Structure 1
Amino acid sequence: MKLTVVGGGSTYTPELVDGFARLRDTLPIEELVLVDPAADRLELVGGLARRIFARQGHPGRIVTTGDLDRGVEGADAVLLQLRVGGQAARERDETWPLECGCVGQETTGAGGLAKALRTVPVVLDIAERVRRTNPDAWIIDFTNPVGIVTRALLGAGHKAVGLCNVAIGLQRKFAAHLGVAPAEVHLDHVGLNHLTWETGVRLGGPAGEDVLPKLLADHGELIAADLRLPRPVLDRLGVVPSYYLRYYYAHDEVVRELGAKPSRAAEVAAMERELLEMYADPALDEKPALLARRGGAFYSEAAVDLAASLLGDGGSPYQVVNTRNGGTLPFLPADAVIEVQAAVGPDGAAPLPVPTVDPLYAGLMANVTAYEDLALDAALRGGRDRVFRALLSHPLIGQYAYAEALTDRLLAHNREHLAWA
């Protein structure tokens, strides 16, 4: 089995490689190819990756290359984890929206739109090159904004599934609270990427006992603190929202917080410099503890599980993924991309049935889906008016004066990445 990681020079990659090494019985990789145009970073990351495989006795071969076509040739699956514009673009995405009193975040709001505009054309070009080289390869998208990027891939006819680590992170935390193995916890997870709610927590599988009420009663304070939401909010909702919902439920508070401290991008950039220095040490043969602060917790386990299911029968039968809605959520278009539990196998991801969704969540999901429609249209066809329409439609913006000012700033900060600007 050959698996290719595009964006393999990311400081995330050792987390992924560690999972491939530990879970080799689930996903028996014979060749792992790391593709990245940043040769210096790729050399450091590739060296550590080989040492991790060697330490854990993995027999697979690790290849590094800056040649995308060579890297994806013959791959059974291609995992995308790229960042167009690097951390510098991310820092801009997190700062200029604050000038207009709006959330500055890399996947949500105006910053998320900027990232989508930069990213969608690049991902579609990569996917076309994968299809020319190996049309049977699965594309696993971990590149944000995952929902919009996955929708672009599916709309262009690619074999693609989107992946996010929010659900697996909550699964692990809930399992620890309940004192059970993570595999015993099945989430009734519903929404869009970075806009999800856990409406049930079941033991043993989709038909298992729902222990969410007990979980909230016994551990509500810890869960609320982790989400940085007041405990009474969780009690009144009766569900567990993802931490991204704080941008919606506490928008003004978040804007004040973000404006009073260095950006997350600046923190990550400093962390990456330190990590790369560590990766250069030839004695290092395991992922460093610092990597846990970089983000992407349990990403490797989720990626292994998904790839194993798509390529054979080694993964879990049910997984939270980003895939086409079809008729799963009848209040959304069939071609919308939703994030739900799905049965995953060699034929792809089939969403499990979802009970009727509370209008409190359904309304916001419909609004953000409409924004994603307009965002994808702007990413595919360009144009200032399309950018403005997408921004105006976003529930975190929604005022024409904000949308005008944000459009001006988005274009000013991203012209080098937008062929039409």
Structure 2
Amino acid sequence: MKLAIVGGGSTYTPELIDGFARHRSALPLEELVLVDPDPRRLELVGGMARRMLAHAGHPVTLTTTSDVRAGVDGADAVLLQLRVGGQDARSADETWPHEAHCIGQETTGPGGLAKALRTVPVALSIADVVREHARPGAWIVDFTNPVGIVTRALLEAGHRAVGLCNVAIGFQRRFAAALGVPADDVLLGHVGLNHLTWERSAVVGGVDQLPGLLSERLGELAEEVELPAPLLAQLAAVPSYYLRYYYAHDEVLAEQLAAPTRADAVRAIERELLDLYADPRTVTKPEALERRGGAFYSEAAVELLVQMSSSAGSPLDSPAGRPRVVNLRNDGALPFLPDDHVVEVPAVFHDGRFVARDVEEVPVEAQGLVAAVAAYERLALEAAVHGGRERVLSAMRSHPLVLQHERAEKLTDLLLAENARFLPWAR
């Protein structure tokens, strides 16, 4: 298999390399290409990746390039991990919404809309190159936020794409550790939209263990997602930590106003990581990478790529058909949403496509929120593809964290002022 990683200069990449090295028997990579426009990052991350692979005895050929066309040429799969505008744009996304008394976050709310506007056109441009130069039938695995919106953009344009997030695998690993069972034995009832999900069950050997976990570890689970224990008890589910931006908006906003941005923290971590990557003595994944975020990213990516490469014709009840949580077309999985929307649910890879499987219901009290965010996502995609202030305003106003027209007007002006250099139609 040839795999191209677009955004391969990311400090995340050694996390992936570590996973590829540990799982080389399951994922037979022959060629790996890191594609990135930043030559310094390519040199540092590429050098680190080569040392890690050599240290692990992995025979894969690794190359680096700034040329997307050359990087994806002949690839069997392409992984997108983009951050258009870098940490500077992220820092802006995390601050300018405060001027209108909204949370600042890079994937949720006004900041998430800004990221979608910057990212979707770039992702579509790259996907067109993949369509023309990768192997016929090559898959795009999107890890680029906002994953739901970007994945739907790719699917709507006819690309063979699936979205990937590490939230579900993180819960799977934590539940497995609490239950004392292998992670792969835990089947999650993970349901919702990207960064708007709930764990409705945790099935081990045919028995749902989540009620027991909520009973015995309620305080611990609530602390982990930073939400009140009575909320989890009433929902009989564990919300993703991204739900805190909705369930505890004012508390989060107060915290944000009193502390540095996450982007500031990530900048410092990235400087430390790049220094480590430059050190020829560093041949394994640094511990500092755990503070970068993206826990279990490599595990999720490897599991997905293995399933895609080995089970194209497998029966749905085969071991290769074990569900993995991905972002894919709804097609009835959540009956209150349009079929062409993108949802985040368990699915199997069967006959060359992803099929939703064993999908739990969204909690009744949350269905309105999911429907509202889905409507926002559709409007956000329209704005990202077609541009125009009125489209941006419409998407902004529809977001449940905004709603008020005057607030939406102010936020739209702030967004465009901060992002005009990324949006040709706004210059």
TM-score normalised to the size of structure 2? 0.96
* Residue aligning to 2:376: 371
Q: Distance in 2 between matches of 1:316 and 1:219?
A: 31
The reply to whether residue 296 of structure 1 matches residue 294 of structure 2 is: yes
* Residue aligning to 1:111: 111
How far off its partner does 1:315 sit?
5.7
How far off its partner does 1:356 sit?
4.0
Partners of 2:117 and 2:423 within 8 A in 1: yes
The reply to whether residue 411 of structure 1 matches residue 409 of structure 2 is: no
Question: Does the C-alpha gap of structure 1 residues 183 and 100 become closer, same or farther in structure 2, counting only changes over 3 Å?
Answer: same
Residues 4-27 of structure 1, C-alpha deviation per residue, up to 9 Å, x if partnerless? 000000000000000000011111
Partners of 1:3 and 1:32 within 8 A in 2: yes
Q: Distance in 1 between matches of 2:190 and 2:223?
A: 20
Residues 17-58 of structure 1, C-alpha deviation per residue, up to 9 Å, x if partnerless? 000000111111011100001001110000010111011111
Q: Distance in 1 between matches of 2:402 and 2:23?
A: 43
Q: Aligned ranges for residues 37-186 of structure 1 at < 5 Å?
A: 37-134=37-134, 135-186=136-187
The amino acid that maps onto 1:117 is L
Q: What is the root-mean-square deviation of aligned Cα atoms in Å?
A: 1.1
Q: Distance in 1 between matches of 2:351 and 2:260?
A: 44
Residues 362-383 of structure 1, C-alpha deviation per residue, up to 9 Å, x if partnerless? 1111000000010000000000
* Residue aligning to 2:332: 327
* Residue aligning to 1:15: 15
Partners of 1:311 and 1:346 within 8 A in 2: no
Q: Describe the SS at the equivalent of 2:95.
A: helix
Q: Distance in 1 between matches of 2:321 and 2:93?
A: 36
* Residue aligning to 1:308: 306
The amino acid that maps onto 1:220 is L
Residues 99-133 of structure 1, C-alpha deviation per residue, up to 9 Å, x if partnerless? 11101000000000000000000000000000011
Question: Does the C-alpha gap of structure 1 residues 317 and 12 become closer, same or farther in structure 2, counting only changes over 3 Å?
Answer: same
* Residue aligning to 2:193: 192
TM-score normalised to the size of structure 1? 0.98
Partners of 2:198 and 2:362 within 8 A in 1: no
Partners of 1:309 and 1:346 within 8 A in 2: no
How far off its partner does 1:358 sit?
2.9
Q: Distance in 2 between matches of 1:316 and 1:12?
A: 28
How far off its partner does 1:318 sit?
1.0
Partners of 2:191 and 2:360 within 8 A in 1: no
Question: Does the C-alpha gap of structure 1 residues 345 and 60 become closer, same or farther in structure 2, counting only changes over 3 Å?
Answer: farther
The amino acid that maps onto 1:352 is R
Partners of 2:50 and 2:62 within 8 A in 1: yes
Partners of 1:304 and 1:315 within 8 A in 2: no
Question: 1:318 is matched with which residue: 305, 320, 323?
Answer: 323
How far off its partner does 1:357 sit?
3.3
Residues 205-233 of structure 1, C-alpha deviation per residue, up to 9 Å, x if partnerless? xxx11111101111111111111112111
* Residue aligning to 1:220: 218
310-319 or 24-33: which moved more?
310-319
* Residue aligning to 1:348: 353
Partners of 2:235 and 2:363 within 8 A in 1: no
Q: Distance in 2 between matches of 1:397 and 1:371?
A: 11
Q: Distance in 1 between matches of 2:204 and 2:291?
A: 30
Partners of 1:4 and 1:79 within 8 A in 2: yes
The amino acid that maps onto 1:107 is T
Q: Distance in 1 between matches of 2:21 and 2:360?
A: 38
Task: List 4+ stretches of structure 1 deviating above 4 A.
Answer: none
* Residue aligning to 2:407: 402
Partners of 2:191 and 2:361 within 8 A in 1: no
Q: Distance in 2 between matches of 1:23 and 1:186?
A: 21
* Residue aligning to 2:5: 5
Q: Unpaired segments of 5 or more residues in structure 1?
A: none
The reply to whether residue 267 of structure 1 matches residue 265 of structure 2 is: yes
Aligned length: 418
Partners of 1:343 and 1:352 within 8 A in 2: yes
Question: 1:242 is matched with which residue: 240, 243, 256?
Answer: 240
* Residue aligning to 1:281: 279
Q: Unpaired segments of 5 or more residues in structure 2?
A: 312-318
Q: Describe the SS at the equivalent of 2:217.
A: helix
The amino acid that maps onto 1:255 is L
Q: Distance in 1 between matches of 2:162 and 2:361?
A: 24
Q: Distance in 1 between matches of 2:382 and 2:197?
A: 23
How far off its partner does 1:355 sit?
4.3
Q: Distance in 1 between matches of 2:361 and 2:188?
A: 16
Residues 157-197 of structure 1, C-alpha deviation per residue, up to 9 Å, x if partnerless? 10000000000000000111111110111001100000000
The amino acid that maps onto 1:138 is W
Q: Distance in 1 between matches of 2:258 and 2:406?
A: 24
Residues 333-361 of structure 1, C-alpha deviation per residue, up to 9 Å, x if partnerless? 00000000001246121001434433212
The amino acid that maps onto 1:78 is V
Q: Describe the SS at the equivalent of 1:420.
A: helix
Q: Describe the SS at the equivalent of 1:272.
A: helix
Partners of 1:104 and 1:111 within 8 A in 2: yes
* Residue aligning to 2:32: 32
Q: Distance in 2 between matches of 1:4 and 1:282?
A: 24
